[in-house]
Amino acid sequence: MANKYRKTGVAAAIVAAVLLGSGTAVAETSTTSVTEPLNDRFTARWDVEGSGIRREIVASETAPGGAAIEFRVRRAVDEVWRTRATVPLIADINDGDEIELVVWVRAERPIRSLGTGNVDLQLVRTSEPFDNIFSENIRPTEEGQFYTVRGVAGADFAADDVVFGANLGHGRQTIQFGPIAITRLSSAE
């Protein structure tokens, strides 16, 4: 049992190192620059919600840094958001802020009927009115890749009332996540 925790601790350290080493310079144009990280890149904190979902840090030959956090979903649920993984934020978001998510995702075991995974990526308020800054459905493959999603906040969001959520309840699947960076962008003008 102690060996299992030692392996998990080593894998967690690898994931944390990848998060630190992933950098924040993700500018796509000369008028965009990164101004502030919104998630804690020194930890690999992921929480799970719902039944029928298990998580584990695993070694991965394809994930940047050689480790990933893996979520095994046993079955589809009618309300897919009831089975999800979340990452907390560390800074408030203001009305009008442009937010960018960059996350590495791989379907270790895709949904059989699709041949891919099925994941909704959201930056969402955790209380009424449950509004979001973005919501994007992705279909990760066994290859794994970085996904980038951007959105503009239509209201103020307190850090303790918003999370990054990955809705996983679309079906029986195993999804791996690697480095994640949630960042507030601003114009360089």
> pLDDT digit string (tens) for 104-161?
999 999 999 999 999 999 999 999 999 999 999 999 999 999 999 999 999 999 999 9
Given CA atoms 141, 144, 145, 151 in this order, what sign does their dihedral have? positive
If one compares 32 and 83, the residue with the highest pLDDT of the two is: 83
Query: In percent, how much of the chain has pLDDT > 70?
Result: 79
How far is residue 134's CA from residue 167's CA, in Å, rounded to a whole number?
13
* Confidence bin at 34 (pLDDT 50/70/90): low
For residue 185, what pLDDT is reported? 92
Beta bridge partners of 36: 184
Task: Please answer whether residues 60 and 66 qualify as being in contact, where contact means their C-beta atoms are separated by less than 8 angstroms.
Answer: yes
CB-based burial label for 161 (10 Å; 0-12, 13-18, 19+): middle
Domains contained in the chain, number = 1
Residue position matching structure tokens 């601790």: 9
Looking at residue 179, its amino acid is P
- For residue 48, pLDDT over 60 is answered with yes
Q: What is the pLDDT of residue 116?
A: 96
For residue 102, give every residue at least 6 positions away whose Cβ sits within 8 Å of its Cβ, in sequence order, or none. Answer: 22, 26, 146, 147, 148, 179, 180, 181, 183
Domain that holds residue 100: 2-187
> What pLDDT does 55 receive?
95
How remote is the C-alpha of 44 from its chain's centroid? 10
Tell me which of 8-17, 30-39, 103-112, 158-167 is least confident: 8-17
Q: At 61, which CATH number? A: 2.60.120.260
Letter for the amino acid at 169? G
- For residue 103, pLDDT beyond 50: yes
- Position 132 scores a pLDDT of 93
More confident residue, 188 or 175: 175
pLDDT: which is higher, 61 or 189 = 61
Q: Which range in 3-12, 131-140, 179-188 is most confidently predicted, on average pLDDT? A: 131-140
